[in-house]
Amino acid sequence: MVTTGIVQLVSLILAALALLMGAYLLVIGKRPWRGEEQQRVAPRVRLLGLSYMLVFGSAMIQIVTQPTGIEAEALGGLMVLGGVIVIVVVLLEARASRRSAI
């Protein structure tokens, strides 16, 4: 029982950090790991922030409330939507890198 609580607490803390990173990407729109100064922010960076918020926000809600039934399905749907957004962002990033290579 204590081990489950510790795992849930660690998961909640990690999800909160990812949620903050998603908010940073959505609001500020810069990727801190790139170290580049951009005048214009690519929309795909903001999409990535939105996906972080959807996935990890839903995870935090599931950890805290442990929903069942329709509520759990709705949260799962939000997580899937966040995953689809990540796939779109990866495809857009690959497309942009191919264009810059030409």
Predicted confidence (pLDDT) at residue 32 exceeds the cutoff of 90: no
| pLDDT at residue 38 in the model | 55
Cα angle value 39/41/44 (rounded, 5°): 160
Tell me the backbone φ, ψ of residue 35, rounded to 5 degrees: 70, 20
| pLDDT at residue 96 in the model | 80
Q: Give Cβ neighbours of residue 83 (< 8 Å, ≥ 6 apart).
A: 51, 55
Q: pLDDT band at 72, cuts 50/70/90?
A: very high
Residue among 73, 76, 70 at smallest CA distance from 58: 76
- Compute the average pLDDT of residues 5-12: 88
Predicted confidence (pLDDT) at residue 1 exceeds the cutoff of 80: no
- Compute the average pLDDT of residues 5-25: 87
For residues 45 and 26, give the distance between their C-alpha atoms in angstroms, rounded to a whole number: 7
| pLDDT at residue 101 in the model | 76
Predicted confidence (pLDDT) at residue 84 exceeds the cutoff of 80: yes
Q: Give Cβ neighbours of residue 44 (< 8 Å, ≥ 6 apart).
A: 88, 89, 92, 93, 96
Q: Give Cβ neighbours of residue 63 (< 8 Å, ≥ 6 apart).
A: 8, 11, 12, 15
DSSP tag of 40: S
